[in-house]
Amino acid sequence: FNELDAAKKHVGEDWDAVRGLLGGKGANLAEMVRIGLPVPDGFTISTEACNTYLASGSILPEGLWDQVLAALAQIEASTGKSFGGSENPLLLSCRSGAKFSMPGMMDTVLNIGLNDQTVAAMIHQTEDPRFVYDAYRRLIQMFGSVVMGIDDEPFEEVISTARRTVGVENDSELTAENWQQVAEQFKAIYRRHTTHDFPEDPYKQLQKATEAVFKSWNGKRAVDYRTAAGISHDLGTAVSVVTMVFGNMGDDCATGVAMTRNGSTGEPKLEGDYLTNAQGEDVVAGIRMTRDLAELKTEMPSVYDEFERIAKLLEDHYRDMQDMEFTIEKGKLWMLQTRDGKRTAQAAVRIAVDMVEEGLIDRRTAVLRVSPDQVDFFLHPQFDTSAAIAGKLLTRGLNVSPGAAVGQVAFDADMAESWANNEGKAVIMVRPETKPDDVHGMLAARGILTSRGGRTSHAALVARQFGKPAVVGASAIRIDLTNRLMTVANRTIHEGEWISIDGTAGIVYEGQLETMVPDIKDPWLIKLLTWADEFRKLGVWANADYPRDAKRAVEYGAEGIGLCRSEHMFFETDRLPHFQRMIMADYPVERKEALAALLPFQREDFVGLFRVMAGKPVIIRLIDPPLHEFLPDLMELMSELADLKIRLKHAPDMAAIDTLLTEIREKEQLRKQAQRLREANPMLGTRGVRLGIYIPELTTMQVRAIFEAACRVAKEGIEVHPEVMIPLTSHVNELIRQRAVLENEARTVMKEKGVEIAYKFGTMIELPRAALTADEIARHAEFFSFGTNDLTQTTFGISRDDAEAGFLIEYMESGILPANPFATLDRDGVGQLIDMAVKKGRSTQPGLECGICGEHGGDPKSIALCHQLGLTYVSCSPFRVPIARLAAAHAAL
């Protein structure tokens, strides 16, 4: 493994490129050799060789084999062993290793070089025939399965038959003779399946194994994994050829795996598992109970000390948590692999922060090591780790949408919906796969489980879209829709039984597991986010309508309110009647009365908001939705009216008739009004600024409420920064007209109260025309807020209320659209409009405050775009504020 210099000469000093050439495994083996760690002799065949081999239709590149032979000769010289030799035979492993680790996805063959002759030599040399025959049968099986594609089953059957005939429980109790017979029977299986003999020629074994490893790059498992993990398919795998060392030559031998820190919690503590007298794959295969690495300390103290020292050294060297494989042969420690360890979100955060404090990495690196999606983890319910371990694992699948969900199994969407909505049950919807007409069931369910499908399947997309925990592609599950049950291995679960799914890890459990909401107050997370704040340029604000949401937002680090939807308050039961009265009013006085009744409610809402936000900007958007949304549904009204008329017919007396008549009159009026306000395209109808122009008393009342509240809070000694936002402007004249009226009212209130408040008037940019004429609009606006939900809807001409349950999902599945434009900002279309509006706006109003308050404000990819477009801030739901803080830092780094 002294090929680092050559590799660097070929691809440059960049470690990433070296890993690309030698694979992660090969590059790290060479690096470990370079820094003087005990690694068995070996060499790596590059990914370029693999790619040439695959591209040429399975022909080894010219000259490759000569290089392999030369490298082998070097190993023979340095180890004093000979490949295929009859005295001190050299055995090799042939190991796959791509640039990015794909655990268990590709193949490795151990013990290459054994044949009848070397077996005899090894027995003579080790005086341990049991060990040698065991190694031999492993080679035949691994070679058979990896190179020739023979199933494991016939091999496993031979071993279990052997155990039965001998009458023992464990493989370790089988004798040398037993293993010798097993090896013979394995050869017979090999012959039966391939019609030729197991190759005795060690060079042929090595060559075949190398080619098989190359080919495993395109094996189905590996391809699926790469597609799911977003790893490119053209990287190829390297092949590392490593001198075998043996953990199974007696009780002074062992093999194991270890991590320098805990992969679940991040606790800085060396942890691992090992087996005495065993070979590498036994540890992961779970055939024998492994032992805690801590026991090695008492069993082989000096080896443990050395390993501990090496682990620390590797971590310091790579400046990241390491996941290592080692083998101890007759008291001598050998390192077989090291790589950056996989970890949970919680561990990622803690490790990054701890490493800064230990001086291993800087803050910038720490911030970049945690992804915004990992922060998301802290905001979803999770299973208590101990509960999860104690729980009964049913099966695994793909972790496509994070969070934990517990519920009763329902096998179709209608059942899921009816159980959830009518009976208040917690439901997990289980399907082979989902289709657009399952969406109603998915929405009603707590979580989703499918036996088929991948990361971009319908189920995965919809689940992520709606924040439902989901595990998909759990292929071990057999769903029997006729009998309404599912089976996993030998377990049967009927419809209505409880299961628990972990969408963060992709695990399905039987029964009801305890969930917990992970703490956003996690001290490591808090620290990391504070560091993120030092790097980001974008402000992070929150969308909040009520003081309690605002409070949470501030706790999570929001620096302002980017959107308070002022009409949400009107929907509350004590206010709705007044609001309806306002809509129904025939005369200005009536309307005035209704508005006067609403004023104190609105004022109180804003007072609360200003107090919580103390000195931070608060953007309040004036009424936006079409008025019919505040009236009862027309169809409902009709049927109520019909009902009342029947009751009128059967009324017992005059008094009853009187009350019924009044009720009918009132309902009839509501119906007329609802009918009158009905629009064919309400989202393009009388809403936003158009409402303010149509009923100026309404928005004037809102502005009065805002400024009365602001004056009151200012008098309490709390700083206030109200920003009044006018929605849905398309023409500058709308803004000019509306602003004049409103600003006049604002001045009047401030004069009445004798308080001067620093305020702003601004508008939303959510229609293409507003973006196109932003320079004009900016002359009359002190801020812009991009309402990207509407802007996406109007730019694409796609109704977001209908499309997401319909063709949009098919568009994403078939690749017509790369992503859901309502979830991730469409850079080329909508993004261009934003870019233009920011530039035009700032051309007439330098320093114009520009933010985004659509759903996209909490999406990391969209946040990166907002950073590039030079926005002042993003505003998102309080729950996404921590994610946005980190995403904004990543965008700036």
Residue 565 known to bind ligand: yes
For residue 425 the two structure tokens come to 């049950």
Q: What residue has token string 């009720």?
A: 663
Residue 76 known to bind ligand: no
Selecting among 564, 853, 866, 876, the annotated active-site residue is 853
787: contact with Mg ion by CB under 5 A: yes
Selection from Mg ion, ligand ADP, none that 787 binds (CB < 5 to 8 A by kind) is Mg ion
Minimal distance, residue 238 CB to ligand ADP, in Å? 11
Minimal distance, residue 886 CB to Mg ion, in Å? 27
In three-state secondary structure terms, 406 is strand
In three-state secondary structure terms, 477 is strand
State phi, psi for 590 to the nearest 5 degrees: -60, -45
Closer of 240 and 792 to ligand ADP (Cβ): 240
Closer of 122 and 254 to Mg ion (Cβ): 254
Is 866 catalytic? The answer is no
Residue 95 known to bind ligand: no
Q: By the 8 A CB rule, do 39 and 29 touch? A: yes
Minimal distance, residue 245 CB to ligand ADP, in Å? 4
Closer of 236 and 625 to ligand ADP (Cβ): 236
Closer of 40 and 113 to ligand ADP (Cβ): 40
Contacts 24+ apart (CB under 8 A), 866-872: 866/538, 866/825, 866/891, 867/536, 867/537, 867/538, 867/891, 867/892, 869/831, 869/834, 869/835, 869/838, 870/838, 871/538, 871/786, 871/834, 871/838, 872/538, 872/539
Minimal distance, residue 510 CB to Mg ion, in Å? 31
Q: Between 324 and 353, how does the x/- string for binding to Mg ion read (CB under 5 A)?
A: -------------x----------------
Residue 414 known to bind ligand: no
Residue 788 known to bind ligand: yes
Provide CB contacts within 8 A for 214, sequence distance 6+.
Answer: 49, 50, 53, 54, 236, 237, 239
Q: Give the residues lining the site for ligand ADP (CB under 6 A).
A: 40, 93, 95, 104, 108, 110, 242-245, 280-281, 325, 327, 336-337
State how far the Cα of 676 lies from the Cα of 682, in Å rounded to an integer: 12
Closer of 341 and 787 to Mg ion (Cβ): 787
Alpha helices in 504-633 (DSSP H): 523-535, 547-555, 576-584, 588-613
Minimal distance, residue 227 CB to Mg ion, in Å? 22
Q: What residue has token string 């395209």?
A: 681
The continuous run of DSSP H or E covering 9 comes out as helix 4-11
Minimal distance, residue 326 CB to ligand ADP, in Å? 8
Minimal distance, residue 324 CB to ligand ADP, in Å? 9
Closer of 427 and 765 to Mg ion (Cβ): 765
Give the pairing of strands 470-472 and 477-480.
unpaired
Selection from ligand ADP, Mg ion, none that 281 binds (CB < 5 to 8 A by kind) is ligand ADP
Selection from ligand ADP, Mg ion, none that 557 binds (CB < 5 to 8 A by kind) is none
Residue 787 known to bind ligand: yes
State how far the Cα of 8 lies from the Cα of 130, in Å rounded to an integer: 44
Minimal distance, residue 630 CB to Mg ion, in Å? 17
Closer of 727 and 831 to Mg ion (Cβ): 727
Number of CB atoms found within 10 A of residue 870's CB = 14
Closer of 243 and 862 to ligand ADP (Cβ): 243
Measured CA to CA in angstroms, residue 313 lies from 255, 306, 341, 797 at distances of 20, 10, 15, 58
Q: Which DSSP state fits 838?
A: H
Q: By the 8 A CB rule, do 320 and 339 touch? A: no
Is 193 catalytic? The answer is no
Minimal distance, residue 93 CB to ligand ADP, in Å? 3
Closer of 95 and 343 to ligand ADP (Cβ): 95
In three-state secondary structure terms, 231 is coil
In three-state secondary structure terms, 535 is helix
The interaxial angle of helices 176-194 and 153-166, nearest 10 deg, is 150
855: contact with Mg ion by CB under 5 A: no
Q: By the 8 A CB rule, do 782 and 849 touch? A: yes
State how far the Cα of 319 lies from the Cα of 362, in Å rounded to an integer: 10
State how far the Cα of 326 lies from the Cα of 277, in Å rounded to an integer: 13
Residue 265 known to bind ligand: no
Q: Between 538 and 567, how does the x/- string for binding to Mg ion read (CB under 5 A)?
A: ------------------------------
Minimal distance, residue 179 CB to ligand ADP, in Å? 18
DSSP string, 317-354: HHTS-EEEEEEEETTEEEEEEEEEPP--HHHHHHHHHH
Contact with Mg ion (CB under 5 A) among 790, 804, 826, 849? 790
State how far the Cα of 830 lies from the Cα of 70, in Å rounded to an integer: 59
For residue 476 the two structure tokens come to 């071990």
Minimal distance, residue 513 CB to ligand ADP, in Å? 30
Selecting among 94, 380, 458, 564, the annotated active-site residue is 458
Alpha helices in 217-321 (DSSP H): 220-229, 281-285, 294-299, 301-318
Burial of 57 (0-12, 13-18, 19+ CB in 10 A): exposed
Q: Please name which of 766, 799, 788, 773 lies closest in space to residue 862, comparing C-alpha atoms.
A: 788
Closer of 129 and 562 to Mg ion (Cβ): 562
625: contact with Mg ion by CB under 5 A: no
Closer of 146 and 508 to ligand ADP (Cβ): 146
315: contact with Mg ion by CB under 5 A: no
Q: Tell me the residue type at 58.
A: S
Selection from Mg ion, ligand ADP, none that 406 binds (CB < 5 to 8 A by kind) is none
Give the pairing of strands 254-259 and 271-276.
antiparallel
Give counts: helices (H), strands (E), the chain.
37, 32
Selection from ligand ADP, Mg ion, none that 790 binds (CB < 5 to 8 A by kind) is Mg ion
Residue 884 C-beta-side C-alpha neighbours within 13 Å:
33
User: Nearest residue by C-beta to ligand ADP?
Assistant: 280
Q: Which positions are catalytic?
A: 458, 853
Output the known binding site for substrate: 565, 621, 766, 787-790
Residues that bind Mg ion in the complex, under the rule CB under 5 A: 337, 766, 787, 790
User: Which residue positions form the known binding site for Mg(2+)?
Assistant: 766, 790
